[in-house]
Amino acid sequence: MLLLAVGMAIQACAQAANSAQIKTVNSLGNGYSISLEPVAIPGFSGLHSFAGAQLEGKWVLIGGRTDGLHRRQPFASFAASGNNTNIVVIDPESKQSWNATISDLPSALNEQLQSTNMQFIQRGKMLYLIGGYGYSKTAGNHITHNKLTAVKLDCLIAAVQKGSSITVCFRQISDPVFALTGGQIGRIGDDYFLVGGQKFDGRYNPMGPDHGPGFSQQYSEQIRKFRINDDQILLSINKVEITTDKENLHRRDFNMLPQIFPNNETGFTVFSGVFQHTANIPFTNTVNIVSDKIKVESAFTQYLNHYHSAKVALYDAAEQRMSNIFFGGMSQYEENAGALTKNDDVPFTKVIGNVTRDKDGKMTETKIGEMPGFLGVSAEFFLDPKIPMHESEIVKLNEIKGDRVLLGHIVGGISSTRKSIFFSNSGSESEASKMVFKVWLTKIDKRSAGETK
């Protein structure tokens, strides 16, 4: 009966979606429109599912994969040959790039730094890397790493540019709390919030854990809150607190963005993610996190941009409105001339979506544009350092000066030749994107912004 009830709920949701209309607007609702400009970076050969940071105008890319969407066959899926085994440094201003191999690093560092879907967060000149999934020569298998690695960014950038040793730029510790991949991490003050994700060990197999080489999979279903003690010599964590919610945090490969809520509390919103307990389809609700409290937005249904993609949060203080922009990715619902169509293959999408929260807490989803292809999955967004922003990297819309301003860059991700390739994926249908896009904000006349239904 439980399975039947869930199935009926999903069907009802689909029927509602098929009769719904997604509004398409030409602006963010804050007096700005978004446009994309492709930029070529010589020497950047493409990357997705990586960890990223920036310092003094330079980007640092670590880990991730150099191939496309993972294949279904266990022997080919997440092959070590597709691991990124270089540290990549990019100067977007001069369009230069540098690479340094990680092959000379100690094995524990070397193996984590070439993993995929690490959780990562930057604080000042330090980048913290947590977990990640990939082949471990030491274990003789694919594993989820149980490591926290601190990366001294100024040290690393200088070493990569000079071609000198990078070893001194890293420190690493181990703890079971770090054994996650596909989650997200945020920070409020000195507290770090490690949200969702999974511990996956073994080779991926769509037939399940007991077929072929087999695997073990355990969703976190938790918020793991802790503090990082780091004097740039010793590294440790303390004040670990665990909040478990098996129903609402059973998700991975989602987008999470910092938020300013209507009562001026700061926190995060978890958007969509995969997979539901009883079906291989995304969640269509969102979850708010304030301190260690969880609140599900039951009145809102997210139909677009269900999978990890490039994303950015903006706040209009005058209107007390949050805007959350998602660039492409994957979606269970397709938008065709304003109508929604359900597709449980969860294909790639071109849609640029905006989920807003107004001063009364009401959430609304709109389509504000399209990517120039099936792009955005597992890409990252780098805010322009000159854009006014809160410490949490929420853009201060009211403090932007000028009629046309660089918001930031979309870097890498998966580029697919078709919207649905998973069941016919030979490895040539998609690739790690070498594309970089400048994202521009352009001020518009609100009266002429126009919208269609």
Q: CA 154 to CA 156: how far, in whole Å? A: 5
Size of the chain in residues: 453
Q: How far apart are CA 258 and CA 277, in angstroms?
A: 26
| DSSP secondary structure letter of residue 155 | H
Tokens of 24: 């398409």
Q: β-strands 363-370, 23-25: how paired?
A: parallel
Determine what percent of the chain falls in helix, strand and coil, rounding each to the nearest 5.
10, 45, 45
Task: Report the alpha-carbon distance of residue 353 to residue 320 in Å, rounded.
Answer: 19
Q: What is the pLDDT of residue 452?
A: 38
pLDDT at 446: 55
Tokens of 34: 């978004």
Under CATH, which number does the domain 21-445 receive?
A: 2.120.10.80
Instruction: Write the pLDDT tens digit of every residue in 249-271.
Output: 999 999 999 999 999 999 999 99
Instruction: List the chain residues with pLDDT less than 50.
Output: 1-19, 447-453
Euclidean distance between the first and final Cα of the chain, in Å?
38
Q: Is there a contact between 36 and 438 (Cβ–Cβ < 8 Å)? A: yes
Mind giving me the DSSP string for 1-45? -HHHHHHHHHHHHHHHHHT-B-EEESS-SSSEEEEEEEE--TT--
Sign of CA dihedral 414, 218, 144, 76: negative
Model confidence, pTM: 0.93
What ranges do the domains of the chain cover? 21-445
Give the pLDDT score at 449. Answer: 47
Place of tokens 């994303």: 311
Q: Give the pairing type, strands 380-383 and 198-202.
A: unpaired
82 Cβ partners below 8 Å, 6+ apart?
65, 66, 67
